[in-house]
Amino acid sequence: MSNVTVIGTQWGDEGKGKIVDWLASRADIVVRFQGGHNAGHTLVVGDQVYKLSLLPSGLVRGKIGVIGNGVVVDPKALMTEIDRVTAQGLVVTPETLWIAENAPLILPVHGALDRAREAARGDHKIGTTGRGIGPAYEDKVARRAIRICDLAEPETLDWKLDELLLHHNTLLAGLGAETFTKEQLKDFLAEITPRLLPFSCQVWDCLDEARRAGRRILFEGAQAVMLDVDHGTYPFVTSSNTVAAVAASGSGVSPSSVGFVLGIAKAYTTRVGEGPFPTELHDQTGRTLGERGHEFGTVTGRPRRCGWFDAVLIRRAVRVGGVSGIALTKLDVLDGLDEISICVGYELDGQKIETFPSAPGAQARVKPVYETMPGWKETTAGARSWAELPAQAIKYVRRIEELIEAPVTLLSTSPERDDTILMRDPFED
């Protein structure tokens, strides 16, 4: 019996929410280990639609949700989300939600700095969610973050706020943005502390106890490998590591606890925000994918850029992300297309290359080399067995497996939770 870690293999929004929800019903505990409220999951359960950004998806299934130390926590956003799902009937208490007391907080200064810096970047903007994720991670690494445990120590908080404001106000003033007073931050923290502290605990210890009791843990990644701060399309990335290895350090468990790594990949590719995207389609096919796939960001509502499946990038995500098997989502969006292309290599300045380059200039210049295959006319939407799929759709999936050098262990054919074809149960691996 294994734990399972779910990560995205493209630029996020691969449909992780549905897969995590489906797996959560078989787990006891669901853990978020990186990112913050920049993530967005939409879960459809019966007639309820849950929009989650920070809360682990397992809460929707009545499981214990955990926010690990690798997550940056915006306490206001968290409370708003808890209030929203509570109004929808979920029970969120310190018994069902454990938050790492060593997790860093996102404060109003972080969002302000994120937005001021994006505005100053002009043509080179990253297209961040503007929610302060990057500045909060910077503060963690620079050792000036306010962590949840600091809220219980007013004397610590006092000198830490001075240090934080010295740094941030200097930057904000330099960027021509409004600065903050210590009183403002103190008021903000005083308001959230009584609600936040009861949820906080030593998550590593609770998870260790859960492991000893044989409980099944699902680690829920946010964003995706191509947005990883080391392995993604830097600098057009998020500010955390998104690969499966981080499930361990981001929640305080041993590397062997990560278990089966399920990489989620859409049957085509999308991206929000700026940055290189070799297979992006600017034509009617791109628009068709966007319309059929309802490709709008859950968090910001921005339309997503759409393009063909890039097997080269996913092969890399499989290797660096430690992916054991792939969950392929949204196959039905390709139904009815005459032809479907897969990127199998690149051309850079007239030379054929087999891996994606690291420098941003080269990343922007690469041209995809495509392999094109006939599409299928039949619908795959709602298929629940391999036998229900058209032969051509099966060929497409098989070709993807060959190119990315990983098995497709799960196939999702509609947003409905049960429209899923399971080739291998990751918890049984």
Out of 3, 10, 169, 223, point to the residue binding ligand IMP (CB under 6 A): 223
**Residue 18, annotated ligand binder?**
yes
Smallest gap from residue 120 Cβ to ligand IMP (A): 15
- By CB under 6 A, is residue 276 in contact with ligand IMP? no
Cβ 236 to ligand IMP shortest distance, Å: 6
Q: In angstroms, what is the minimal distance from the CB of 13 to ligand IMP?
A: 5
DSSP 358-418: SSHHHHHH-EEEEEEEE--SS--TT--SGGGS-HHHHHHHHHHHHHHTS-EEEEE-SSSTT
13 flagged as catalytic: yes
Q: Which of 37, 41, 110, 231 is catalytic?
A: 41
Residue 243 one-letter amino acid: V
Burial class (CB in 10 A: 0-12, 13-18, 19+), 278: buried
Q: Is the C-alpha dihedral spanning 353, 355, 361, 365 positive or negative? A: positive
Any contact of residue 368 with ligand IMP (CB under 6 A)?
no
User: Is residue 233 part of the contact set for ligand IMP (CB under 6 A)?
Assistant: no
Two structure tokens written together for 342: 């897969």
Binding piece for ligand IMP, criterion CB under 6 A, among 36-44, 69-77, 178-186, 212-220: 36-44
For ligand IMP, which is the closer residue by CB, 31 or 207?
31
**Alpha-carbon distance 412 to 391, whole Å?**
17
Nearer to ligand IMP, 127 or 345 (CB): 127
User: Is residue 357 annotated as involved in ligand binding?
Assistant: no
The identity of residue 272, as a single letter, is V
Question: Which x/- pattern over 72-101 shows residues binding ligand IMP (rule: CB under 6 A)?
Answer: ------------------------------
Q: How far is the CB of 330 from ligand IMP (least distance, A)?
A: 15
227 lies in the site for ligand IMP, by CB under 6 A: yes
Residue 231, helix vs strand vs coil: coil
Please identify which residue in 10, 38, 57, 251 interacts with ligand IMP, judged by CB under 6 A: 38
Q: Quote the least distance from Cβ 128 to ligand IMP, whole Å.
A: 4
37, 63, 140, 231: the active-site residue: 140
Q: Which of 5, 57, 239, 329 binds ligand IMP (CB under 6 A)?
A: 239
For helices 154-174 and 133-141, the axis angle rounded to 10 degrees is 120
Query: Does the annotation list 330 as a binding residue?
Result: yes
Q: Kindly state whether residue 39 participates in binding ligand IMP, applying the rule CB under 6 A.
A: yes
Binding-site member from 15, 40, 290, 325 for ligand IMP (CB under 6 A): 40
Burial of 368 (0-12, 13-18, 19+ CB in 10 A): buried
Nearer to ligand IMP, 38 or 285 (CB): 38
The string of DSSP letters for 140-177 reads HHTT-PPBGGGGG-HHHHHHHHHHHHHHHHHHHHHTT-
Which residue's CB atom is positioned nearest to ligand IMP?
A: 273
Of 185 and 224, which CB lies nearer to ligand IMP in the complex structure? 224
Q: Which residues in 113-172 contact ligand IMP (CB under 6 A)?
A: 126-129, 131, 133-134
Bridge partners of residue 4, in order along the sequence:
218, 260
Give me the phi and psi of 88, to 5 degrees please: -90, 0
Residue 180 exposure: Cα atoms within 13 Å on the Cβ side = 25
For the chain, the first-to-last Cα distance in angstroms comes to 6
The residue from 9, 102, 238, 341 that contacts ligand IMP (CB under 6 A) is 238
What 77-84 contacts at long range (C-beta under 8 Å, 24+ apart), as own/partner pairs, is 77/37, 77/53, 77/106, 77/131, 78/37, 78/54, 78/196, 79/192, 79/195, 79/196, 81/37, 81/52, 81/53, 81/54, 81/55, 82/55, 84/51
Q: Annotated catalytic, 187?
A: no
Residue with Cβ nearer ligand IMP (21 or 150): 21
Element (H, E) at 218: strand 217-220
Asked about 110 being catalytic, the answer comes back as no
Contact 274, 305 (CB under 8 A): no
Which listed range, 37-45, 149-157, 166-174, 253-261, lies at the site for ligand IMP (CB under 6 A)?
37-45
Strands, E, within 228-362: which ranges? 260-266, 269-271, 305-307, 309-310, 325-329, 339-348, 351-353
Nearer to ligand IMP, 72 or 85 (CB): 72
Q: Which residues bind ligand IMP (CB under 6 A)?
A: 11-13, 38-40, 126-129, 131, 133-134, 222-223, 227, 236, 238-239, 272-273
* Binding-site residue positions for Mg(2+): 13, 40
* Binding-site residue positions for substrate: 298-304
* Binding-site residue positions for IMP: 13-16, 38-41, 129, 143, 223, 238, 302
Active site residues: 13, 41, 140
* Binding-site residue positions: 12-18, 38-42, 129, 143, 223, 238, 298-304, 330-332, 412-414
